[in-house]
Amino acid sequence: MLHFNQFVILSAELSHLTPQENEIRTNQLQLMLTKLGFKPTEMIGRYKGDQETSFFVPTTRNDDIERLEFIACDRFNQESILVQYSDGHSRLHYPNYIEHIGKVREITRQEAFKRDAYTFYPKLGKYYAAI
């Protein structure tokens, strides 16, 4: 999964919505990303203990990051997006600040389940988290 230097992980789901509402939002986000020329890969994420469908989106330009942040935070009311920059360092982008969180790396399933935030790539059966 993480053979890209720079990428964003984002979701459209909100924990207080029904599964049906979140499915609609996820489908809308995937369609938006595809129409904008991105190549999103569907993942299963856990953020603050809640499971959500998320997308891994490779990026090459910093203005792509700004566009994805706008889509997630303004259109889908997300708290933040995860960005891993080409230098390997990851940050959570919030609307008004950026939090440095380490580097996204592959971890074991056991380690993932001890965390309140991680990403699972079902196609390869691999877990990732910022460490």
Q: Is the pTM of this model over 0.85?
A: yes
pLDDT of residue 88: 87
| Per-residue three-class SS string for 108-121 | CHHHHHCCCCEEEE
pLDDT of residue 60: 87
By residue count, the chain amounts to 131
pLDDT tens for 8-47 read: 999 999 999 999 999 999 999 999 999 999 999 999 999 8
Which of 48 and 69 is assigned the larger pLDDT?
69
pLDDT tens for 61-82 read: 889 999 999 999 999 999 999 9
Contact of 99 with 92, CB cutoff 8 Å: yes
pLDDT tens for 82-107 read: 999 988 899 999 999 999 999 999 99
d(CA 17, CA 90): 28
Contact of 85 with 91, CB cutoff 8 Å: yes
Rounded to the nearest integer, the mean pLDDT of the chain is 93
pLDDT of residue 3: 52
